[in-house]
Structures are given as structure tokens and as C-alpha cells.
Amino acid sequence: MRSKDLISILDLSVAEIEEIFSTARRLKEKQKKGEECLPLKGKSLAMIFAKSSTRTRVSFEVGMLQLGGHALFMSTQDMQLKRGETIHDTAKTLSRYVDGIMMRTYSHKDVLEMAEHATIPVINGLTDLLHPCQALTDIFTIIEKKGAAAGLKIVYLGDGDNVANSLAVIAGKLGLFLVLCIPPGYEPDKGIIKEANILAAGSGAKIEITNDPQAAAIAADILYTDVWTSMGKEQEREERLRVFKPYQLNSKLLAKANPDCLIMHCLPAHRGEEITDEIMASRQNISFDQAENRLHVQKAILALLLGK
């Protein structure tokens, strides 16, 4: 995987996904034991943020530190990009300074353009279309908690956003059973779902899209939700609160799932909106384990893409 980009789960083979998972497990075990592992000693990562962040910034920055490298936080508000420098020129320049670029931004085209012109690996830290690092972390966490992801009923509730899109692709790659329960008019990207279904035809995956949360939750092994109003869509908030209200992850919905159903949320959680305080406080909630695993999975990605 050395020197390749990670823009979408589509960029990874099943073997490469498994390599990321096995590397993440090994790095997590070493970190828990307090053992040093410094495959990126002397390496630098430029982290470009157009969107604010808690988990993405901290997990990548700490991950580079734990691997022996260095991360540079770069807000687009403080870069020459704000003053008209092109992504082309930024990519060419940064390629002379650092060993990799992580970009968290709005337009997916910006990450694609950065990867096209950079001569170093580019990692998609999030765009409005895709969130590959999150989807990899999600499945890694499910496997860690359940022993396997195949054969489980994974139900995602809420907006057909970047997380839903990336979950569909990784489900198609790995042959998983995924139910996307989305209100009408807020469905995932049609092109992404088409790609996921093509993958599913070969892997045996089952990807369903429904708008009935009560039916979707029946016999679920995983109930997963995300914020209803993503950054950049704040003007839609009131309408979204009204439309998404039946999709709230609460005790009534959880009662329809399997008794050992686990709760996931990629965070930040807007308590009282997409998820209740009661569910966030339940022993079935693994969202903070999920958040921790962003560190370990992204360390694996960094080590594999930037390492020697």
C-alpha cells in the first residue's frame, strides 16, 4: 500500500482492508502495552482542514506522534488557498515538504484534485461525499466487539450522508448486511449506491434502503446513527429536525433489536436529537470505543501508506 492514496474505500482491495485491520490490531496492542512502534520516524503529515474537527485532528495528530512522525495542522483560513492559490500549486509545493497529506473539506473534488497533483499519498479525512476512515473504523470496531461483521444486521439510521455512502461501499466490498434507513429525499448518493451494489453482486453483500425505522430495527445487531445536520447544512436544521424525528435512536427503537444489539455513533452526538441521553449512557453504547479506534485504524493507514 506504500505511496497510494486513500480517497475512497473503492481504492482498497479486500486484502488491503484486512491488512489495515490487522495492522490496527497490532498497533493498538502495542500502544496498550506501552511499547514504542516508530515506523514513521522523521516523517511529516500535512493536515489541511476546511471543516473544523475534534476527532479527526486529534486522532491523526496523536497517531503521527505515536508512530514517531510529526503532523502539521493547516487551516484553509490561514493558508494561501484562501487568497487564491490553486490546489494544484498547493499540492505540488507540499509534496516537496512533507511525506503525506490528510485533507478534511467540503467538496470531494478538492481531495481528488489534491491527489491528482500531489506526488505523495493523500488521505481523505472527510468530504461531503465520503468518509472512508470512519467506515474502516466502524467495521474494525464491529469485528472487535462481535468477533466478525459478516452475518450481522447492521442498521444505519438518519441522513444519507458521507458516512452512509462509505458504509455502503465497505459493506459491498466485504459482503456485509447493511440496512440504510433514510427519510425520503435524503437518500445516499445514487452513484455510490450503484457502485456498492455492483460490489455486492460479487461479494454476496446485502444492501437495503428503507424509510421505515421501526421495521429496520427488528433483529438488528448494530444500530448506528449520525448527526442529522452536517456542517454546511445549518440553514436546513429546523426542517431536518422535523423530518428526522421518527428516526431517533431511543429505547423504543432499541427494544425491537436483538438483546445484544450494540449502539454506534461516529460523534459528535446531538443528544435529544438523533440519539437520547438514555441510549448514550447505556452499556450497549460503544461509540467511545469507536472514537478511540479512529486513532488505531488511522495509525495503520499512516504506517502502511507513509512507511518504508
Indicate the DSSP class of residue 302: H
Residue 11 a catalytic site member: no
Contact in structure between 143 and 149 (CB atoms under 8 Å)? yes
Active-site residue, selected from the candidate residues 55, 265, 294, 296: 294
Residue 131 a catalytic site member: yes
Active-site residue, selected from the candidate residues 108, 226, 290, 296: 226
Element counts in the chain: helices (H) and strands (E): 12, 9
Active-site residue, selected from the candidate residues 134, 248, 290, 298: 134
- DSSP secondary structure string for all residues of 225-293: E--SS-TT-GGGHHHHHHHHGGG-B-HHHHTTS-TT-EEEE-S---BTTTB-HHHHTSTTB-HHHHHHH
Q: Give the whole-angstrom CA distance, residue 22 versus residue 3.
A: 19
Q: 14-33 and 287-306 are packed helices; what angle lies between their axes, rounded to 10 degrees?
A: 110
Residue 266 a catalytic site member: yes
3-class DSSP state for residue 161? coil
Q: Give the whole-angstrom CA distance, residue 90 versus residue 96.
A: 10
Return the number of other C-beta atoms located less than 10 Å from residue 29's C-beta.
12
Active-site residue, selected from the candidate residues 55, 104, 265, 296: 104
Active-site residue, selected from the candidate residues 55, 131, 240, 265: 131
Residue 55 a catalytic site member: no
Residue 294 a catalytic site member: yes
Active-site residue, selected from the candidate residues 108, 110, 266, 298: 266
Phi, psi torsion values for 72, nearest 5 degrees: -115, 120
What grid cell was written down for 155? 442498521
Write out the H or E segment, with its range, that includes residue 125: strand 122-126
Spatial neighbors of 8 by CB under 8 A, at least 6 apart, are 124, 130, 132, 166, 169
Active site residues: 104, 131, 134, 226, 266, 294
